[in-house]
Amino acid sequence: GENVEQHPSTLSVQEGDSAVIKCTYSDSASNYFPWYKQELGKRPQLIIDIRSNVGEKKDQRIAVTLNKTAKHFSLHITETQPEDSAVYFCAAQKGKLIFGQGTELSVKP
Amino acid sequence: EAGVAQSPRYKIIEKRQSVAFWCNPISGHATLYWYQQILGQGPKLLIQFQNNGVVDDSQLPKDRFSAERLKGVDSTLKIQPAKLEDSAVYLCASSFSGAANTEAFFGQGTRLTVV
């Protein structure tokens, strides 16, 4: 079945550094790739998304890149801040919305 | 606009008992998802509805789990009988249209503990 693999499972960076989270997907028909941020005890919330007809999208300190040929996409956070600390999930969708396993990001002051 | 509403927020039951969760999606959202999120893991899709039809329920343990979305609006997810491994947060989400793949908005979730 469809699968989304996410790496790393944990990531620790110093404040101001960049963080990169990578995902691969199995269904080549997937055409929508959202990223969600989940703070402890809260609901997942969308932070950025990209569609298959676009290779890169940026929103302030957050950017996402998509390589359809390789079936992988990545989240880039620049100038990280302590409030960026959370669990981040990638997802891929054609019909079903399938999530990766999550990356716990810790930004140390 | 109002968000996705779920109830109850917390539930503790003994194994072999039954439990039901309720979800009211954002008005006008055709697609409704139920996810199971075990602590430390990503959300696992249990069932996805488009209006009142099932898009996918391949990961739903049908011997104990059932879900319905009567009239294409509210939805209920039931577990009967519950097992210890069902302890998780059950998240409901909705989106305007699954076919167009738009943002899925999540509810607060129901935290189920089976003892």
Question: Would an 8 Å CB–CB cutoff place B48 in contact with chain A?
Answer: yes
Q: Which residue, A83, A74, A77, is CA-closest to A109?
A: A83
Non-local (6+) Cβ contacts of B68 within 8 A are B75, B76
Token pair for B23? 């979800």
A41: number of CA atoms within 13 Å, CB side?
A: 2
Distance, CA of A62 to CA of A25 (rounded, Å): 21
Over the stretch A55-79, which tens digit does the pLDDT of each residue have? Answer: 999 999 999 999 999 999 999 999 9
Which of chain B's residues have a Cβ under 8 Å away from the Cβ of A51? 101
Size of interface A-B (CB pairs under 8 A): 55
Non-local (6+) Cβ contacts of B33 within 8 A are A97, B45, B47, B48, B49, B91, B92, B93, B94, B95, B104
Interface contact A49-B103, CB threshold 8 A: yes
Instruction: Report the pLDDT value the prediction gives residue A2, as an integer from 0 to 100.
Output: 84
Over the stretch A13-56, which tens digit does the pLDDT of each residue have? Answer: 999 999 999 999 999 999 999 999 999 999 999 999 999 888 99
Distance, CA of B77 to CA of A83 (rounded, Å): 34
Question: Would an 8 Å CB–CB cutoff place B44 in contact with chain A?
Answer: yes
The partner residue sitting opposite B55, judged by closest CB among A32, A95, A98, is A95
Token pair for B80? 């009967």
Closest-CA residue of A relative to B90 is A43
Instruction: Report the pLDDT value the prediction gives residue A81, as an integer from 0 to 100.
Output: 97
Instruction: Report the pLDDT value the prediction gives residue A51, as an integer from 0 to 100.
Output: 92
Interface contact B103-A46, CB threshold 8 A: yes
* CB A22 within 8 Å of CB A11: no
Instruction: Report the pLDDT value the prediction gives residue B101, as an integer from 0 to 100.
Output: 76
C-alpha torsion sign, points A37, B85, B34, A31: positive
Question: Would an 8 Å CB–CB cutoff place B104 in contact with chain A?
Answer: yes
Token pair for B78? 């039931």
Distance, CA of B92 to CA of A7 (rounded, Å): 25
Non-local (6+) Cβ contacts of A41 within 8 A are none
Mutate to test the interface with B, among A96, A101, A103, A104 (most CBs of B within 10 A): A96
